[in-house]
Structures are given as C-alpha cells and as structure tokens.
Amino acid sequence: MVGLQNLDLPIGVRIPVSQPTFMNEWFETQVRVRYAETDQMGIVHHSNYLVWFEFARSEYCRARGFSYKEMEEKDNALMVVAEAYCRYKSPAYYEDVLTIRTKIPEIRSRSIRFIYEIYRPSDQILLAEGETLHLVTDENKKVRSLPAIYKEKLLQEIDDQNTFPENEAPH
C-alpha cells in the first residue's frame, strides 16, 4: 500500500486496489471523497458510508468474477439488504483518499454477511466499521437459495490477479 495516498486520481474515481484470495482475507477498494459527499464544514455525511459499503461489495463480487446484474438477469437471484450496521469512529474529509476493506465472514444457503472497515491510509486512522446481511430472493422477493455458482465463486481462491477463467473474458 506504499504510495497510495499520493495517487493523483480525478475526484470521484473509484479504483479496485487488490483482489481477495481467501474468505478470511480482506479485499480493498479505494475512493476519494467528493465535495458532494460532504457538509458545509467539509466532513463526510454519515449516509455515504453505506454507499461506500455497497460500492466495495459490488467490486468484491466483480473481483470474484460476477456482478449483481449478472446474478439478477441470468439467475434471478437478488441480494436484498436485510440488515445494515455502521459504527462511526473518526470523520473523513473532502479530498481524503480512503480504503474500504471488505470480507465475507458467513455464507449460508439463503444469505450472505459482509463486513467492512473504512480507513484513511495517509494516517492509518480507522474511520468506520460495519456489516450488511443480504437475503437472496427472486424477482418476486421470495427468499431462495444462493445459486451454487456464486457460492463457489465467493469461496474460491484467486491465485493471480490477472488470471481469468479459461475461455472467459473479464466482466
């Protein structure tokens, strides 16, 4: 993570930093705080942390080889937020580059739990931590089992960041 705080990213650019390797390791994604995400004092509004959790969760899934859109359209499986929790520890400010760490501590037949940490690499301050619980439903909002293909992708090891499944382009 050396030098990440010195990246000269356009405001609002979100870039994945690394890919997860095991279920018990963190996946990291970066964001730069945009002006619209702050109040008049330049402090990030609390609602943005849940938006960043969602962004990091989507990037986590993409790093595992699938997207929410694919789950919904191809397999009629929607991940509905059933619970959300965020504990705020220290403020973030306009123009801060932040790292959102995401991992999955639990996958059950019909639900997935994600946990998150948001910190500022420039001073190593933990800003917030939280979790979300998602129920898998069909398009009619009826709870259903998580399709096996997604459970397998979430549990698989990723050996090389640049390796894609055989005969398959990245999403």
Domain borders along the chain are 4-155
CA distance 42 to 24: 35
Contact 97, 118 (CB under 8 A): no
Burial class (CB in 10 A: 0-12, 13-18, 19+), 73: exposed
Residue 39 bears catalytic tag: yes
Nearest partner of 71 among 168, 1, 171, 3, judged by Cα: 171
In this prediction, residue 126 has a pLDDT band, given cuts at 50, 70 and 90, of: very high
The domain defined by 4-155 folds into Thiol Ester Dehydrase; Chain A (3.10.129)
Catalytic-role residue among 8, 39, 75, 160: 39
Least confident of 5-14, 73-82, 84-93: 5-14
Look at residue 153 in the predicted model and tell me its pLDDT.
94
